[in-house]
Chains A and B, each alone.
Chain A
Amino acid sequence: NAGVMQNPRHLVRRRGQEARLRCSPVKGHSHVYWYRQLPEEGLKFMVYLQKENIIDESGMPKERFSAEFPKEGPSILRIQQVVRGDSAAYFCASSPGRTETQYFGPGTRLLVL
């Protein structure tokens, strides 16, 4: 059974460029969560999606950040016009139900130059 997959594992962008992070949940899981981790800190919740719907985006910055989880294909976290402060590890998790255990992917490490 494949776990949560994220790609790319490492992403380097210059300031002002766009970053697209992809997450394929565990097969059969329809709930996806995105978290961000700054160096030496715990993970911070960003957004929770359930197939085609954003359920909770309370942790996601209002500008430049967006997320989607289409009917077909992976979930995408998109960061427009990246700044150095966006440099972090971004983790995706999935679960089969809203209150069930979340399983995390290996993360995408974004470095903004």
Chain B
Amino acid sequence: DAKTTQPNSMESNEEEPVHLPCNHSTISGTDYIHWYRQLPSQGPEYVIHGLTSNVNNRMASLAIAEDRKSSTLILHRATLRDAAVYYCILRPRSTTSGTYKYIFGTGTRLKVLA
């Protein structure tokens, strides 16, 4: 199973941008990069996903390195409600290329300071 590596924790000031890095040097050509976040006492919440190109949605942006061995989740203006554990997960593109279950790491615990 392809593995991701993330820093254990990060801090950010409220209203400032946050860049959450993820290394996935063993990524295969057909793996999507997914990001989820988990607020305290809640289930993981989908944030964003991408394959090769950078992606934007109302929650965040995903910047994917040209070699796809790393990616960065960007929260443009952190709020106190963004304090959570952020997980970077690799997901196969087709049923023939690997597993379909998510392999969670320990994620990055984001602390937002008021």
Q: Which residues of A contact B (CB under 8 A)?
A: 4, 33, 35, 41-45, 48, 56, 59, 91, 93, 98-99, 101-107
Contact = CB atoms under 8 A, between A and B. Distances in A.
Contacts of A102: 46, 102
A41 B94 CA distance: 28
A102 B100 CA distance: 10
A42 B45 CA distance: 14
Contacts of A105: 43
Contact of B106 (A42, A48, A56, A103): A42
Interface residues of B, number: 23
29 contacts: A33-B101, A41-B106, A42-B104, A42-B107, A43-B104, A44-B104, A45-B101, A45-B102, A45-B103, A48-B100, A56-B100, A56-B101, A93-B43, A93-B44, A98-B95, A98-B100, A99-B92, A99-B93, A99-B94, A99-B95, A99-B100, A101-B34, A101-B46, A102-B46, A102-B102, A104-B43, A105-B43, A106-B42, A107-B43
